[in-house]
Structure 1
Amino acid sequence: MDLTDSEILHEFRFLKVFKDGRVEKISWPPVKIPPSDDPITGVRSKDVRISNEPEISVRIFLPKLPDPTHKFSLIVYMHGGGFSMMSAFTPHYDRHARRLTGESTSIVVSVEYRLAPEHPIPACYDDSWAVLRWVAAHSTRDGAEPWLNDHADFSRVFVGGDSAGGNMAHTLAYRVGTIGLPGVKLVGAFLIHPYFGGVEADDKMWMYMCPTNSGFDDPRMKPPVEDLAVIGCERVLMFVAGNDHLREPGRAYYERLKRSGWKGSVEIVENEGQEHCFHLHDPTNENAVALVKKIVDFINQ
C-alpha cells in the first residue's frame, strides 16, 4: 500500500477518513444483544425487518398486558451516535427502550436505521420516516405486525430520540406537519440532548456525511423558524445538559420554536452539571431517574 494512502483527509469527533477512502470509526462495531422477555416487568421484545431494500429493522417492546385487548400509547424512538455509530440493539439502547416501555406502559418501536457515511445522510431520515409510515399502516388493524394491530393506540403516537436521534425525531414531526400521516395522531415529540448544528466540528462531520448538504444552515441540521412553525404535533419536551457541548444549540432550537408561531406547547428541562446523554451511562443516577420520569409524565399527560 502506498504510504500516502494512510494519510488522513478528515478527522472528526467519531471517525477518520483516509486518502484511500477507508473510514475508521470509534467504538466500532457496536455490541448488539438479542431481544428478550423480562419476567419481572413483563416487558417483551422482538426484532422485525420492515424492509429488505433498503434494509431497515426495528426492535419492538410490548408492556405487560392487563387484558388481551388493551391498547397502549406508541413511541417511535431513534438512537443517538452522531448519525454514524451505535444501534437500537446495543445494551444501552435496549435497556433505555425497555425502561420507557415498562414505566410509561407504551409500545416502543426502536429504529435500526442505516448509518453514515456508508449510507450517506439522508438515509437515516428516510429510514425513520419509513418506520413511522410502516407503523401508521397498522392503524387499519390489518398490518404485518400483530403487536401493533392488536395493542397500539394510534391516537396517541409519540416520536423521541437522543442526540442525533433527537434531530431525527424533529424531522419526523416536521414531515408529519408538511406531508401528513393518515390514521395516526402524533401527539408529541421528546428530544434528549438533540443535535441542531451550531458546533463547527460536528457540523463539518454532518456535512461530510451528507453530500447533498446546503452548508452550515442546512434546514435538516439547523431547522429554521418557518420549518418549526409547521411541525405536526401538539407538544414538545426538550432536555439539555449543563456540561454538554450541544446545550446552546438545543436552547436556540427551543427559543426559535417558541417564537415560530407554532400552536403547540414546548417545555425545556436543563440538567446542570450533567454530560451529554448521561442517562444512558448511569440510569440509576437521580437525574437520569428524573429524566425518564419526566418523559413518562409527558407520554401519560
Structure 2
Amino acid sequence: MSGPGARTLDLNCDLGESFGVYRYGADAEVMPLITSANIACGAHAGDPRTMRESVDLAVRHGVAIGAHVGLADREGFGRRAIAVGAQDVHDLCLAQIGSLDAFVRAAGQRMAHVKPHGALYVMVNDQPDLARAVCAAVRSFDPGLALYALPGSALAVAARDAGLGVVEEFFADRPYRAGRVRMFGWTAEELGTPDAAAGRAVQQLRTPALAGVGTVCVHSDSPAAAERLRALRVHLDREGWAVAAPRPSGNPTGPAPTPLSSPHVDEAFQPVPSP
C-alpha cells in the first residue's frame, strides 16, 4: 500500500551489549525485525567476542551496521553523565569506531553509521563542543558514515556543518513529554503494551515536527522488545510506510534546521565528577 503520505523508515536497535559470561538484551530475537543495528564497541558494554558475534548476526539478517559509541563506564552502563572534555570524547569515539570496524571489515562489510549511547547521546544533544568532537571523530575515520541524532539537536547541527549525513531519530520505546524524550527514569507502565506503544509512535510520527525523522529506535533491553518491533511493523504497514535502512547520503543538501531552544532529552541521572 502506498499513497501521498508514503514514507520509508529505518528500524534501529541498540545491541551487542553483553560482556563475557553476562548476557544482555534480546539480540537474537530482534535482529530479524530491524534494518539497522547499533553495536556496542567495548566502552559502555560489549567485548571483542560480542562485537564479532553481533556483526555476524547482522550480516546473516541483512541488517546495516553502526557503531554504538559510549562513555567508558561499564559500571553505569554508559548512562551516567561523566565530566569529560571534547578531546576525550573525540578519542573515545574514534577508538570505538575503529574497533568495531575491524570486525565489520573482517566480515566483508562496510559500516553505515554511528550513534552515541546513553549519557553521551544526551550530552551531545545540547553541548555543541562535544557534538563537534563526535563529528570530528566520525569524519576523520570515514566521512561516508551517517550520524543518528534527535531532530534539531546540537549533534544534528554539528554533523551537517561537518558535511556528514544525518538520520533523525525517534524512540518508540521511550515516553515523550511535551515533545521531550524521557531517556531514563521511566517505568514499563508508561510505555504501555507493544500495540499501544506502536500506535502512539505512529501517531506522533505523523506530526509535522517529526516529518524529517528517518529512523525509529527500539532498544534490545526494553521490556518485550521483539513484540514491540513486531507491533510497530504492523502499524507502519497499516500506514502504508515501508521499512528499510537509510541510503548513504554523503554531504546533505538544503538548509539545516534551527536548533531547539530547550533541551531535547528529559534527563534522570546524576553527573559523576572526574577524579
Q: TM-score, normalised by structure 1?
A: 0.37
Relative to total residues, which structure has the larger strand share, 1 or 2?
Answer: 1
Of the two structures, which has the highest relative contact order with CA contacts closer than 8 Å and spacing of 6 or more? 2
Relative to total residues, which structure has the larger helix share, 1 or 2?
Answer: 2
Q: TM-score, normalised by structure 2?
A: 0.39
